[in-house]
Structure 1
Amino acid sequence: MLRRQRSRIEACKYKILLVGEQLRFQMHVQHVIEERRFHFRTYKACFVGRDAVDWLILNRHAHTRDEALMCMGLLQDQEVIHHVCDDHSFKDEHLFYRFRRDDDTYLQNKDLRAFFKGQHLFDKLLASRAVLRDFHVPGVVYRDSFMGRELIDWMQESGLSVTRDAAIKDCRELLENDVIKHVTDDYHFRDDDLIYQFSMDFHQPYLLSDILSFRRTSSSSSSSGFTRSSVELTVLRRRSTPVPMTSSPRSAADDSSDSSRNSLPSPYPSPSESSADDIRDRFHSGSFSADSTDALQPKSVLLRNVTVQELEDPDTPYIKHTVRMTSDSVGYGFVIRGNSPAYVQTVDPNGPAAAAGIKVRQFIYSVNGKNVLRMDHKSVGKLIQQKMGVVCIVVMTHKRDAADPR
Structure 2
Amino acid sequence: MMTRNLKAEVMIAGEQLRLRLHDNKLIKDRRHHLRTYPNCFVAQELINWLIAHKEASDRDTAVRLMQHLMDYDIIHHVCDKWPVFRDAKYLYRFRKDDGTFPFNIEVKIFMRGQRLYEQVISSKDSISQVRQEEGVAYERSFPGYMLIDWLLQNSEIESRRQGLDLCKALLEHDIIQHVSQKHHFFDSGLLYQFCINFRRRRRLSELLHETENEEVECATHQTQEDQPDSPFTLRKSPPSVGNSDFLCVQPNKDSSLSRTVRCGSVTHQQHSSCGGYSASLNAALAVRCNPTSVLKRHVTCEELLLPDAPYVKRVLTILGDALGWGFVVRGKTPCYVQAVDPGGPAATAGVKVRQFVCRVNGLGVLHLDYRTLSRLVMTGPRVVTLEVMEPMD
TM range, smaller chain: 0.5 to 0.7
The 1:243–1:183 alpha-carbon spacing in structure 2 relative to 1, beyond 3 Å, is same
Q: Which residue of 2 aligns with 1:193?
A: 189
Q: Which residue of 2 aligns with 1:50?
A: 44
Q: Is the 8 A contact 2:244 2:282 kept in 1?
A: no
Q: Which residue of 1 aligns with 2:231?
A: 231
Q: Could you tell me how far apart the structure 1 residues matched to 2:57 and 2:78 are?
A: 26
The 1:187–1:275 alpha-carbon spacing in structure 2 relative to 1, beyond 3 Å, is closer
Count of residues paired in the alignment: 311
Which of 46, 61, 66 is residue 60 of structure 2 equivalent to?
66
Q: Which amino acid aligns with 2:231?
A: V
The 1:362–1:23 alpha-carbon spacing in structure 2 relative to 1, beyond 3 Å, is closer
Q: Which residue of 1 aligns with 2:25?
A: 31
Q: Which residue of 1 aligns with 2:364?
A: none
Q: Does residue 1:345 correspond to 2:340, yes or no?
A: no
The 1:162–1:104 alpha-carbon spacing in structure 2 relative to 1, beyond 3 Å, is farther
Q: Is the 8 A contact 2:76 2:93 kept in 1?
A: yes
Which of 162, 169, 191 is residue 166 of structure 1 equivalent to?
162
Q: Could you tell me how far apart the structure 2 residues matched to 1:140 and 1:285 are?
A: 49
Q: Which residue of 1 aligns with 2:96?
A: 101
Q: Is the 8 A contact 2:130 2:141 kept in 1?
A: yes
What secondary structure, in the 3-state scheme, does the structure 1 residue paired with 2:204 have? coil
Shift in Å at residue 376 of structure 1? 5.6
1:378-398 Cα offsets, whole Å, 9 max, x none, are: xxxxxxxxxxxxxxxxx9754
Q: Which residue of 1 aligns with 2:173?
A: 177
Shift in Å at residue 104 of structure 1? 4.0
Shift in Å at residue 49 of structure 1? 1.2
What are the ranges of 5 or more consecutive residues in structure 2 without an aligned counterpart?
A: 272-276, 295-310, 317-324, 330-334, 341-346, 359-380
Identity %: 27
Q: Which residue of 1 aligns with 2:260?
A: 270
Q: Is the 8 A contact 2:75 2:95 kept in 1?
A: yes
Which of 355, 360, 368 is residue 360 of structure 1 equivalent to?
355
1:334-389 Cα offsets, whole Å, 9 max, x none, are: 96259xxxx973149xxxx9xx98423359xxxxxxxxxx9869xxxxxxxxxxxx
Which of 137, 140, 144 is residue 141 of structure 1 equivalent to?
137
The 1:13–1:362 alpha-carbon spacing in structure 2 relative to 1, beyond 3 Å, is closer
1:125-163 Cα offsets, whole Å, 9 max, x none, are: 112143211113466431112222111222222222344
Q: Is the 8 A contact 1:134 1:143 kept in 2?
A: yes
Q: Could you tell me how far apart the structure 2 residues matched to 1:27 and 1:404 are?
A: 50
TM-score computed with the length of structure 1 as normaliser: 0.62
Q: Which residue of 1 aligns with 2:116?
A: 121
Q: Is the 8 A contact 2:266 2:280 kept in 1?
A: no
Shift in Å at residue 23 of structure 1? 0.8
Cα RMSD after superposing both structures: 4.6
What secondary structure, in the 3-state scheme, does the structure 1 residue paired with 2:7 have? helix
Q: Is the 8 A contact 2:327 2:339 kept in 1?
A: no
What secondary structure, in the 3-state scheme, does the structure 1 residue paired with 2:41 have? strand
The 1:295–1:56 alpha-carbon spacing in structure 2 relative to 1, beyond 3 Å, is farther
Shift in Å at residue 86 of structure 1? 2.2
Q: Does residue 1:132 correspond to 2:142, yes or no?
A: no
Q: Which amino acid aligns with 1:96?
A: L
Q: Does residue 1:11 correspond to 2:5, yes or no?
A: yes
